[in-house]
Amino acid sequence: MSSVGVVAEFNPFHNGHAYALNEARRVSGAENVVVCMSGSFVQRGEPACFDKFTRTKHALLGGADLVIELPDILSCACAEIFAFGGVKLLLSTGIVDGIAFGSECADTEQLIYSAKRDMHSDSIRESLERGESYAKAAASVCEDEQRIGPNDILAVEYIRRMLSLAPDCGIYPFRRIGDYNDLDLGGHYSSASAIRAAIERNEIDSVKDCLPGFVFEDIAGGIVSGLFPASLDSLSDAALYAFRNMSVKDISALPDVSEGLENLFSMHANASSTVSEVLSKVKSKRYTMARLKRIVISALIGSTAEFLSTVRNAPDSLYIRVLGVRREKLYLLSELSKNARLPIVASFADIHALGPTARSVIEISRKASRIRALAQPSVKFAKDDFSHPLVIV
């Protein structure tokens, strides 16, 4: 038996994601595809448009065999930390032989070469201090900046983590279709950004060809029922309360906060009516919008830079939480229990066996799930994470 790992968000799951899962299986030759998927909040600093259990169902119907959770403290973080979390958890399953990922260039040698270069050089730090995104800063040290796209940068981060954690692990890049930042619908294959933008414009029928039928049905049903789509603006009251309830010192302790950003967030949270208004007032060329949104989410879920550093470095900081599995691949749960190098959390009772840091990580994810429900259009009740059964399709 062989399994390949994929780190993903599926926000929402679309035809390009189905293609990616098929490519992961093809280029690796693996029998199984194991996905480490973002929890309630995603890397761009927004609530996932569907809850993680619905997205797990979509992933399994779309080609995944087993889905585990990337905890929110790692899923809503910069590319470097996002990649660290995904790779660490996949390799810790003990059943993943390699990791596959989409890339603009899909050139294994070039990506490995870039991954081995010093991504913490003075030039990188200076770029970050100027407020450039990590992707742009990292691209500047790659061999050929013109060839490096946004998914290449994430691919480089995956490879760096793989080289440090498991040098013999298989590396399987495949060519990505389209631009994930493209806001124009492109027919059968369109970016998640374009799909979300069309839905926000209430152009629901226009996304039908971009999505598997089961996803489109859940979108249409979710709109009617008031569950879809979750949005950051719907969290305005909660976010304003969070910032107004924090001291400037408290805000300065959040991840990604530096150079006086704490003062701007404190001031504008008191002088604004929505989270979008706060972000528009704080935004400048120095800071990407994704970074600012992640700060908002960190304030909501209670993440701090100090705790995030602990999670990255403490040996007892993580766990493996299975969200779902295909019925014909239930044997993977047995393989996981025999081979996993981290504790497996299958029920609420398993939390008590975790170390203190891991317990705090899972409590943040439980809180994040409840807060994300507030981002839904009208139905805002929240169920505890562990009231959801394992997703089996």
Domain boundaries, the chain: 3-177+212-221+309-392, 233-306
Residue 167 CB partners (closer than 8 Å, separation 6+): none
CA angle 14, 17, 21 (to 5 degrees): 145
**pLDDT tens column, 182-225:** 677 878 999 999 999 999 999 999 999 999 999 999 999 999 99
pLDDT band at 66 (very low <50, low <70, confident <90, very high): very high
**What pLDDT is recorded for position 231?**
97
CA–CA dist 386, 366 (Å, integer): 8
Q: What is the mean pLDDT of residues 323-345?
A: 98
For 3-177+212-221+309-392, the fitting CATH number among 3.30.450, 3.90.550, 3.30.70, 3.40.50 is: 3.40.50
Average pLDDT, the chain: 92
pLDDT at 228 over 90: yes
**What pLDDT is recorded for position 325?**
98
**What pLDDT is recorded for position 116?**
86
**pLDDT tens column, 90-103:** 999 999 999 999 99
CA–CA dist 17, 7 (Å, integer): 11
Residue 353 gets the label, from left (phi > 0), alpha (psi -120 to 50) or beta, of alpha
CA–CA dist 197, 263 (Å, integer): 31
Q: What is the mean pLDDT of residues 24-47?
A: 98
**What pLDDT is recorded for position 133?**
59
pTM, entire model: 0.93
Q: Are strands 98-103 and 344-345 parallel, antiparallel or unpaired?
A: unpaired
Q: What is the mean pLDDT of residues 302-327?
A: 97
**pLDDT tens column, 103-115:** 998 899 989 988 8
Asked if 293 contacts 46 with a C-beta cutoff of 8 angstroms, the reply is: yes
Give percent of the chain above pLDDT 70. Answer: 90
Q: Name the residue type at position 275.
A: V
CA angle 350, 84, 4 (to 5 degrees): 80
Give percent of the chain above pLDDT 90. Answer: 83
Measured in degrees and rounded to the nearest 5, phi and psi for residue 350 equal -70, -20
**pLDDT tens column, 3-22:** 999 999 999 999 999 999 99
HEC assignment per residue over 258-308:
CCCHHHHHHHHHHCCCCHHHHHHHHCECCECHHHHHHHHHHHHHCCCHHHH
pLDDT at 146 over 50: no
pLDDT at 130 over 80: no
Q: What is the mean pLDDT of residues 319-329?
A: 98
